[in-house]
């Protein structure tokens, strides 16, 4: 469940980004679109409690995010959010297996080896466990990052432009992988994108109509629709 009301965020003294009110039920699929600079990455950062809104209400998975800060925000995020940032942040010095184990450290939990292996198996990258990120293809690195993102069985998966650097077939595969992972974990999935291929890919891999959330570059108007195919990019 994601609920926002009159949410605003400004970087420094800049003009505030104004976000539309949403009430997203648990397990829904949200396509967040809008031109570059319209605030997609910022909205994801707000939902992940990486930044705090200056104004408005923001409740994610029953937690009022304005009440969280510092270490409590970090702990909450580690347990509740699977975050796939635009630039994947696998640690270059660590193997794939150790990169996944980091998720347990971040959540303050003992490493669960079998669960790490299972996550890698589910995404078809178990044989890569001992490799370093530099020894992975782009698609493999994305699978590893997704395996790590879903490791703690988060209720909310946030993916920022996951298909930006992929060809058509790989883009379709990446969307399928995200949708299946979310379904398996009964997680809400938010995909930020200005890639029109994503709407198409989503309709081919799930019968569930996505919630379409469009961020206007003008920042004052916005539209929320529910019918597939109304994605305005
Ligand atoms: P999108 O992901 O839709 O491209 P962003 O959320 O990254 O949009 O950015 C929204 C606006 O905020 C843009 O005008 C961008 O320049 C600005 N912005 C983003 N990050 C920062 C930052 N760290 N400091 C100052 N301004 C930023
Ligand atoms: Mg962005």
pTM score of the predicted model: 0.89
- Ligand 1, residues at Cβ distance < 6 Å: 11, 14, 17, 34, 36-42
CA-nearest of 180, 130, 173 to 150 is: 180
Name the residue ranges covered by the structural domains of the chain: 2-225
Q: Which residue has the higher pLDDT, 9 or 219?
A: 9
Nearest CA to ligand 1 atom 7: 41
Q: 49: which residues sit within 8 A by CB, 6+ positions away?
A: 60, 65, 68, 73, 76, 77, 81
Residue 1 has pLDDT above 50, yes or no: yes
* pLDDT over 90, % of the chain: 67
* pLDDT of 86 over the 80 cut: yes
Instruction: Give the position, in ligand 1's atom list, of the atom nearest the Cα of 192.
Output: 2
From the alpha carbon of 45, which atom of ligand 1 is closest? 6
**Range 2-225: architecture per CATH:** 3-Layer(aba) Sandwich (3.40)
User: Cα(50) to centroid of ligand 2, in Å?
Assistant: 14
Shortest-distance Cα residue to atom 26 of ligand 1 = 11
pLDDT digits (tens, 9 = 90+) for 126-153: 999 999 999 999 889 988 999 999 899 9
Residue 228 confidence (pLDDT) above 50: no
**Helix, strand, coil shares, percent, the chain, to 5:** 35, 20, 40
The structure tokens 């965020």 sit at 9
**Number of the ligand closest to the Cα of 86:** 2
What is the pLDDT at residue 130?
98
Nearest to 86 by CA among 4, 174, 150: 174
């Amino acid at each position: 469940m994601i609920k926002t009301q009159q949410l605003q965020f400004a970087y420094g003294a800049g003009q505030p980004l104004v976000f539309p009110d949403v009430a997203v039920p648990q397990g829904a699929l949200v396509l967040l679109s809008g031109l570059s600079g319209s605030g997609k990455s910022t909205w994801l950062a707000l939902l992940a409690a990486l930044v705090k809104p200056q104004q408005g209400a923001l409740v994610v998975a029953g937690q009022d995010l304005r009440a969280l800060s510092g270490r409590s925000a970090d702990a909450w995020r580690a347990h509740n959010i699977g975050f796939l940032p635009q630039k994947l942040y696998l640690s270059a010095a660590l193997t794939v297996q150790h990169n996944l184990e980091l998720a347990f450290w971040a959540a303050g939990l003992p490493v669960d080896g079998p669960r790490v292996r299972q996550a890698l198996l589910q995404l078809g990258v178990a044989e890569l466990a001992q490799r370093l990120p530099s020894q992975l293809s782009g698609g493999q690195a994305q699978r590893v990052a997704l395996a790590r993102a879903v490791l703690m069985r988060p209720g909310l998966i946030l993916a920022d432009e996951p298909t930006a650097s992929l060809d058509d077939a790989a883009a379709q595969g990446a969307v399928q992988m995200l949708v299946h992972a979310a379904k398996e974990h009964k997680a809400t999935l938010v995909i930020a994108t200005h890639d029109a291929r994503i709407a198409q890919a989503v309709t081919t891999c799930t019968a569930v109509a996505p919630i379409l959330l469009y961020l206007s570059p003008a920042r004052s108007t916005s539209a929320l629709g529910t019918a597939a195919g109304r994605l305005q990019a």
